[in-house]
Amino acid sequence: MAILEQGNITIHTDNIFPIIKKSLYSEHEIFLRELISNAVDAIQKLKMVSYAGELEGEIGDPQITLSIDRDRKQLKIADNGIGMTADEIKRYINQVAFSSAEDFIEKYKGGADQPIIGHFGLGFYSAFIVADRVEIETLSYQKGATPVHWTCDGSPSFELSEGSRTERGTTIILNLSEEELEYLEPARIRQLVKTYCDFMPVPIALEGEVLNKQKAIWRESAGNLKEEDYQEFYRYLYPFQDEPLLWVHLNTDYPYQVNGVLYFPKLRPDIDLTQGQIKLFCNQVFVSDHCEEVVPRFLLPMRGVIDSPDIPLNVSRSALQADRKVRSIAGFIAKKVGDRLKELYRSQRDQYLNIWSDLSTFVKFGCLNDQKFREQVKEILVFRSSAELSEATSSDRGQDSQGNWYTTLQAYLERNQEKHENRVYYCTDAASQATYIELFRKKGLEVLYLDSFIDSHFVSLLEQEYQDVRFSRVDAELDDTLLETEEAEIVDPTTNKTRSQTLKELFEAAIANSRINVRTESLKDTDASAPPAMVLLPEAARRMREMSAFLGQDPANLPDDHVLLVNTAHPLVQNILSLQQGAILSSDGHSPSQVLAEQLCRHIYDLALMTQKGFDAEGMKAFIERSNAVLTALTTRQ
């Protein structure tokens, strides 16, 4: 083989490859992505030459072929692209590629302690991460071109000679170093192509099999895609997961290029909202599974793909976060997501409401985190209501497929202005607060469900926004419309005590805790579903409790400063009163009826506490003991 030229690559650092190797200690595998990218580029360039009418002959079927030679410890990457002449090798490989190697080191020096997002655009020289010696066999498309062979062992000296390639294109031959022999395993290569090159637009074959999917739906126009295409793509990226709720197709060229498809997944309660699941691509080449810097924090639980060549990838993560363009791309993404939600609300209200319980976590999380987003989605924030709103069809309400009604907050306030101005009643747990909700509902009072895990924070946000409005949970206090003013009927002529007073004292004695405020009220129009007593926890005290639970402090104990509202209209309460009045002292000064009345009072209190989940382990034990004592007393024949 005639040696055309031997020489030294113009490079200022003697041995750059050990440095590169070291700085990429955990990411050796990216060499394959870089070399395949170059091969794809070479094929695209050939197409351009052909369009320009400068290619003699046919392009043929574009293809990248990977092959493994175990005996020689070689991995080869061959393309049928544009090829290179000897001059081009000198220019592009000896100068361009190696000077960008120097650039990389220059950049990396400053931030070696900071992880870089994708080590992207390392280019040709990344071959030296895994190879002791790299060869190029190439034949240019140009008329009369001769094949060229180039070889280099990573030192600045290279050798250029006549090559043996007979077909147009380039083969990169990697003579793998001893520590990198894993890249002789077909399974390993397959896995790498799947990870990094799955959506590259040229078939990549190994041992006769095409490995990559090629079709990147995010690069297509939304108009050409059907619902199934998006769903299928989602299943492809995230197999064995629930169907996505909704998706957003991103597509812009100016002032930056961003393409992508983002999905709202069905959120599971155990999801970690700080871990991103969106895949970042650059021109269809996979870069990273983590793009926390590029996507607004509140959208991190979304899934899908973002592809943008305008995101700088060879900078540290913190620099990326501070980058103005990246920040503006993040803003663009948030706006697009907001627009999509608004569009769905306006044009497919039913579907919007059907997925709202899942969607609302994203939206509320977004509102809590991002003022701009909050403004954007303000009008499409809805709340499930206990009322039947069917009487009017209006843009501020709607019904999901399960028959639940939803309303905007504004509409709620307007609708209830006369009954309770600037007051919102809400519940946080449909099951445990069912008694309270039922009471409100029967009286025609509307209760909103704020029952997802994010809602306790969200209520605070609503309060900031609606400063004149009071938000009270259904068990915080009872509205006057629910209570009957009782006539002060004197039941004990010797002491002149009213019914209410007698009951209050009875309950106070039974509970024996002066910090619990016992109130007797008659609940209007009550039937069997109204409870004999309810624990009311003032809004402020309850929130303190929730806060300490949030901070990991002991939330089990209900604060002592709560109200026990005794429903004097309830038959059980009335029976207790009669029992107590009929009590006869026995000879030893004891009255079994009096004791039983007190036990029953205590039991009623226990049941009310239960609704508030007020027991700790000790409390539960005591409750069981007392319950058994009551039952025993009730079954003991007098």
Ligand X SMILES: Nc1ncnc2c1ncn2[C@@H]1O[C@H](COP(=O)(O)OP(=O)(O)OP(=O)(O)O)[C@@H](O)[C@H]1O
Contact positions vs ligand X (CB under 6 A): 38-39, 41-42, 79, 81-82, 84, 92-93, 96-97, 100, 121, 123-124, 170
Minimum distance between the CB of residue 104 and ligand X, rounded to whole angstroms?
9
Alpha-carbon distance 341 to 130, whole Å? Answer: 47
- Position of minimal CB gap to ligand X: 123
Alpha-carbon distance 197 to 216, whole Å? Answer: 11
Minimum distance between the CB of residue 194 and ligand X, rounded to whole angstroms?
21
Q: Return the SS3 of 157.
A: strand
Beta strands in 524-598 (DSSP E): 533-536, 563-567
Q: Which is nearer to ligand X, 309 or 559 (CB)?
A: 309
Minimum distance between the CB of residue 252 and ligand X, rounded to whole angstroms?
22
Cβ contacts of 378-381, under 8 Å, gap ≥ 24: 379/342, 379/408, 380/341, 380/342, 380/345, 380/352, 381/408, 381/409
Minimum distance between the CB of residue 32 and ligand X, rounded to whole angstroms?
13
Q: Which is nearer to ligand X, 92 or 332 (CB)?
A: 92
Alpha-carbon distance 593 to 101, whole Å? Answer: 94
- In the block, tokens 């055309």 appear at 4
- Nearest alpha-carbon partner for 443 in 530, 564, 539: 530
**74 alpha-carbon distance from chain centroid:** 43
Minimum distance between the CB of residue 196 and ligand X, rounded to whole angstroms?
14
> Torsion angle of alpha carbons 439, 442, 444, 448, nearest 10°?
50
CB 589 within 8 A of CB 621: no
79 is in an annotated binding site: yes
DSSP letter (8 states) at residue 71: T
Alpha carbon separation from 28 to 22, 153, 176, 180 (Å, rounded): 10, 17, 12, 9
Alpha carbon separation from 330 to 61, 113, 333 (Å, rounded): 38, 25, 5
Minimum distance between the CB of residue 91 and ligand X, rounded to whole angstroms?
8
Q: Return the SS3 of 532.
A: coil
34 is in an annotated binding site: yes
Element (H, E) at 232: helix 227-237
Q: Which is nearer to ligand X, 86 or 299 (CB)?
A: 86
Minimum distance between the CB of residue 413 and ligand X, rounded to whole angstroms?
57
> Torsion angle of alpha carbons 527, 533, 537, 538, nearest 10°?
70
Q: Which is nearer to ligand X, 140 or 567 (CB)?
A: 140
Assigned token pair, 387: 């009322």
Q: Return the SS3 of 39.
A: helix
Minimum distance between the CB of residue 170 and ligand X, rounded to whole angstroms?
4
CB 274 within 8 A of CB 300: yes
- Residue 83's region, left for phi above 0, alpha for psi from -120 to 50, else beta, is left
Minimum distance between the CB of residue 76 and ligand X, rounded to whole angstroms?
12
Extract the annotated binding site for ATP.
34, 38, 79, 84, 170, 317
